[in-house]
Structure 1
Amino acid sequence: MNRIIDFVLENRLLVTVFGVIVLAAGFISYNKLPIDAFPDVSPSLVQVFTITEGLAPEEVEKYVTFPIETAMNGLPNVENIRSVSNFGLSVVNIYFEDETDIYFARQVVNERLQEARQQIPEGFGEPQLGPISTGMGMVLFYYLDDTTGKYSLEELRTMQDWIIKYQLQTVPGVTEVLGIGGYEKQFHVVVDPIALLKYNLAVNDLVEIIKRNNLNVGASFIEKNSEEFLVRSVGLATKIDDLENIVVQSEDGTPVYLHQVADINIGGSIRRGLQTKNGIEEIVAAQVIKLFGTNSSAVINSVENKMIEINKTLPEGIKIVPYYEQKSLVEASVNTVTNALLQGIVLVAVILILFLGSIRPSVVVALSIPYSVLFAFIGMEYFNLSINLMSFGGLAIAIGMMVDGSIVLVENIDRIIKDASPSDNLLQKISKASKEVVRPIIFSIIIIITVFIPLFTLQGVEGKTFRPLAYTITLAMFGSLIFTLTLAPVLSSLLMKLKIKKNSENKLPQETYFIKFLMKVYDKTLCFFIKHRFAAMLLGFIFIITGLYIYPKLGSEFTPQLNEGTLIVKLTMAPSISLEESKRTTMLVEKRIMGIPEIEKTVTRIG
């Protein structure tokens, strides 16, 4: 260990350059780190969705969910498989071990889906993988505001699904944009049973005829006059007339058209959910889901900028209005901890000046804080950690501990160089002072790091929540140890000077007025309790009893509550309630809530 001090003082320029490189690398790493409000505690999950039109939950379970579940058995690293079978929808959740790569998990699930598809009857739906995201991935919600009132819900939903969605998906970091509300635009063929009977047709006949006629077909090409002409049949229906003029049968050489046996119109699809606003109207809304592992704050900023561009291209009176985004929560969380970090740095610097009694030693010690923090950022990038409430909180907690080693070393250097003789050499004094305390400094920092090792052993949600805190504290303490052993002696040699003692008496260095005051108070207090030992024991006993009495009344919670300015109100209704009745009840509740003066807006999702 003494050799480290000798090497550092002999190669001060090299050590200084190394320190500058660490600082620069720390700044670069900081700019690369993703920013989130909290650590993502979501499990490694792959979802399989299957839309099964018109099937009851029992049939969905039997013909769709069960084949998918059984196909997933035996996949590597799978912890659990759960499923939900609803009317018209099957959702299978495959949970993998926490350290499993999400792309590997999706690959093996997709391979097994090929087997499952063979077991699902034709027409019962096509299984699809869910988005590459987690429970923390829904970073922004928005709705379409129609100030003109001339656009129907079908038209608004069409804008959302065919214009806005695809443009937002071009934003880096966006994996999916899920729309809700309004109606998906469809052609409706309303069959006349009497006309079908008249022409001896069945509904299935019409379905097959429409399928065969509603497509474009290529037929190679022909050559004429040294030119090639593509031959194709254009039959894809784009308007009502295209469907009305489909020939369904020939009656004595006379064609029977679809409009003779059915009415064709444009309408909305059967829906299982909707969205309302302020208890006044239905709206078309959507949620933006970010890609797993991307920077939430950066994705939200990019999406908001893209929305500004899209708004310029939408019809007059139509505007995208975000009503919830995680950026505010992320910024509030990070700013809170950042302010605490800065306040801690200032307080530490003030206390150092008060106790050390000199600005130069205080500057050397204070520099260990930014060095340790930036060193921690390098480690955070290496371990794929994000900036969040827990990781930044770890740095705030470690501020006082970061300077411990530097304080001991610099204070000892300051003590020794204040008692120098004319023949003494500054570097020799610094070397001697550093070697005296280097061993206990290393041991003390290792002990501090050891305290946080149990946090690395936590599993599940607890592990994902508190491991970032343990990582940042450990990394910062390693950074402070490196600073203490390398830069602290070098900076001391540059900023501090020998103070030649005026006489040969071996006197202790002069203490500051603040230290003198504290020592005076402490001396009187110590003398009092030495004389009255029973009082000291009684006081300690009272503190212990008081703590034991108060502790059970403190209560406990997993994480502190945060006030982000929004409230979530959940309404639970009978499972058999219709969508329209749910809408009516919800809008009544919204109107009552909007009657509260402090409420600006309410948006509700049903289904």
Structure 2
Amino acid sequence: MIAHLIRWSVANRFLVLLAMAFLTAWGVWAVKTTPIDALPDLSDVQVIIRTSYPGQAPQIVENQVTYPLTTTMLSVPGAKTVRGFSFFGDSFVYVLFDDQTDLYWARSRVLEYLNQIQSRLPASAKSSLGPDATGVGWIYQYSLVDKTGKHDLSQLRALQDWYLKFELKTLPNVAEVATVGGMVKQYQIVIDPIKLASYGITQTEVREAVEKANQETGGGVLEAGETELVVRTDGYLKSINDFKAIPIRLANNVPVLLGDLATIQLGPEMRRGISELDGEGEAVGGVIILRSGKNARETIAAVHAKLEQLKPSLPAGVEIVTTYDRSHLIDSAIDNLSFKLLEEFLVVALVCVIFLGHFRSSLVAIVSLPLGVLIAFLVMRYQGVNANIMSLGGIAIAVGAMVDAAVVMIENAHKKVEAWQHEHPEEQLKGEAHWHVMTEAAVEVGPALFFSLLIITLSFIPVFTLEAQEGTTILRRWHLPKPTRWRQRRRFL
């Protein structure tokens, strides 16, 4: 079959050249559109369920939230492992699926089962799915720094949560913008138990009064002079004085206000950890999480452009400092491997010229190697494999096996030409005689070269299978890449 294919290719050289041009253009398109990253994504197909149960101890969270969720998620189609973790006020359930499962199909199934179990969870427990990202989705991290000292941690945190976060989430392929560090500002009601007891008021009454006071109510419309006026009550609490003016009950026909029973103040929300920058104190920052299977390099470039666009809008003295940027690793890996591939092409061409003494013969290797690399990118593109250190390194290693076949075929062609010239010393090898000799030389070694390369290819299948089985476990240790300049501490009570 290989011999017939070689003879047909020689007889239809124009079609072969046309197919080569088509493959070259197709391969260039694949190179430009293949997702680029520094690390191979071998993580499991997983869906994370985070349930917030404020103020509850880990054992209560385990019994009332984590256990019902894990037992329900065991029956999700395609789920192979379910892991539950209970913390103070939070529950995390990881649902791991089979490797070939589509991530968004898995998320829809988990959401379906989550809706079924929601009625069995406590009323104050709120569940949500984690971002559609993987363990290597942490691609960029930045910090907000104010060297003038005009803005405290709560103001920087508000700037991150209510401005930068929303702007960056609009970028394509950004799954989540997580905030780290800082303090979340909140209104705090510190009740005086002695005053509470003197008025005979319970904490439940105080809570219900605050909830009822912070509401908007519609009153319909009022027609006046052929004009409809919308009637509503504006009851949102906007300041400390608004909290102080909340009525609790009447005592001797005198209203008891919240300000008579408690101290109202602005303070930070209870924190579970802190973040530091360069050992100079606490800092506020954000982490860009890449959506699963997307191009990390393009997304980071979009983040750079967006941050440059947002910098003029920041308050005076506030700067955005990059603390982790994977694009540097991606660019250095791509540039290094690209340079090595170019070196291999030049060395192969030089060896062919020196040992064969024929420049046109070296063109066979110079043309076939880039074409083989482009075809490899085509396969990667349609298999969903991104260009990273491992895949490009594999291409660089495979160049040696690719060039072996070309060198053997060129050497055999030269031997056939020498034999023909020895038999016909007075004639020149050209025209149909030339193509006949080239065809016989290729047919002689073509089948053997094809099956030798096929054996080399098949010998790598166990390696790929081993990587598919063990690569996830190895990569899980790197679930969250550590930022270059950040030190994070987390303390559990």
Q: TM-score under structure 1 normalisation?
A: 0.75
Q: Which has the bigger relative contact order, CA under 8 A and spacing at least 6?
A: 2
Q: Which has the higher strand share?
A: 2
Aligned residues of 1:48 and 1:127 also touching (Cα < 8 A): yes
Whichever residue aligns with residue 64 of structure 1, its letter is V
Quote the residue 1:170 is aligned against. Answer: 170
Aligned residues of 1:237 and 1:243 also touching (Cα < 8 A): yes
1:436, CA displacement in angstroms? 2.2
Where does 1:83-482 land on structure 2 (aligned, <5 Å)? 83-123=84-124, 125-418=125-418, 419-420=420-421, 421=424, 422=427, 425-458=433-466, 460-462=468-470
1:397, CA displacement in angstroms? 0.6
Quote the residue 2:27 is aligned against. Answer: 26
1:423, CA displacement in angstroms? 7.4
Change (3 A) 1:16 1:464: farther
Whichever residue aligns with residue 325 of structure 1, its letter is D
CA distance in 1, matches of 2:42, 2:447: 39
Aligned residues of 1:154 and 1:267 also touching (Cα < 8 A): no
CA distance in 1, matches of 2:126, 2:373: 51
Change (3 A) 1:456 1:293: same
SS at match of 1:458: helix
SS at match of 2:229: strand
Structure 1 residues 192-201 or 318-327, which shifts more?
192-201
Aligned residues of 1:187 and 1:266 also touching (Cα < 8 A): yes
Change (3 A) 1:84 1:153: same
1:196, CA displacement in angstroms? 2.1
* Larger CA Rg, structure 1 vs 2: 1
CA distance in 1, matches of 2:365, 2:155: 65
1:30, CA displacement in angstroms? 0.6
CA distance in 2, matches of 1:371, 1:205: 77
CA distance in 1, matches of 2:197, 2:301: 60
Quote the residue 1:538 is aligned against. Answer: none
1:303, CA displacement in angstroms? 1.1
Change (3 A) 1:159 1:568: closer
Whichever residue aligns with residue 97 of structure 1, its letter is D
Quote the residue 2:13 is aligned against. Answer: 12
**Can you give the 5+ residue segments of structure 1 that lack an aligned partner in the other structure?**
466-557, 570-600
Aligned residues of 2:246 and 2:258 also touching (Cα < 8 A): yes
SS at match of 1:65: helix
Quote the residue 1:606 is aligned against. Answer: 489
1:218, CA displacement in angstroms? 2.3
**Can you give the 5+ residue segments of structure 2 that lack an aligned partner in the other structure?**
none
Aligned residues of 2:217 and 2:234 also touching (Cα < 8 A): yes
Quote the residue 1:2 is aligned against. Answer: 3
Q: TM-score under structure 2 normalisation?
A: 0.91
CA distance in 1, matches of 2:287, 2:159: 15
Change (3 A) 1:459 1:407: closer
Where does 1:567-606 land on structure 2 (aligned, <5 Å)? 602-606=485-489
1:412-463 CA distances to partner (integer Å, 9 max, x unpaired)? Answer: 2233335344376222222222222222222222222222122243364535
Aligned residues of 1:217 and 1:232 also touching (Cα < 8 A): yes
1:445-491 CA distances to partner (integer Å, 9 max, x unpaired)? Answer: 222222212224336453569xxxxxxxxxxxxxxxxxxxxxxxxxx
CA distance in 2, matches of 1:438, 1:461: 36
1:40, CA displacement in angstroms? 1.1
1:57, CA displacement in angstroms? 1.1
Aligned residues of 1:361 and 1:414 also touching (Cα < 8 A): no
SS at match of 2:82: strand
CA distance in 2, matches of 1:142, 1:53: 29
Aligned residues of 2:41 and 2:136 also touching (Cα < 8 A): yes
Aligned residues of 1:153 and 1:182 also touching (Cα < 8 A): yes
Aligned residues of 2:186 and 2:266 also touching (Cα < 8 A): yes
SS at match of 1:429: helix
CA distance in 2, matches of 1:360, 1:423: 17
CA distance in 2, matches of 1:441, 1:284: 60
Change (3 A) 1:313 1:461: farther
1:294-352 CA distances to partner (integer Å, 9 max, x unpaired)? Answer: 11111111112111112111111112211112222222333332232222222212111
Whichever residue aligns with residue 143 of structure 1, its letter is S
Aligned residues of 1:248 and 1:258 also touching (Cα < 8 A): yes
CA distance in 2, matches of 1:277, 1:171: 26
**Sequence identity (%):** 34
Whichever residue aligns with residue 17 of structure 1, its letter is L
CA distance in 2, matches of 1:603, 1:38: 21
Whichever residue aligns with residue 180 of structure 2, its letter is I
SS at match of 1:144: strand
After superposition, the CA RMSD in angstroms is 2.2
Whichever residue aligns with residue 98 of structure 1, its letter is D
CA distance in 2, matches of 1:602, 1:9: 60
CA distance in 1, matches of 2:482, 2:33: 33
Whichever residue aligns with residue 147 of structure 2, its letter is T
CA distance in 1, matches of 2:159, 2:482: 28
1:187-223 CA distances to partner (integer Å, 9 max, x unpaired)? Answer: 1111122332333211111111111111222233222
4+ residue runs over 4 A deviation? none
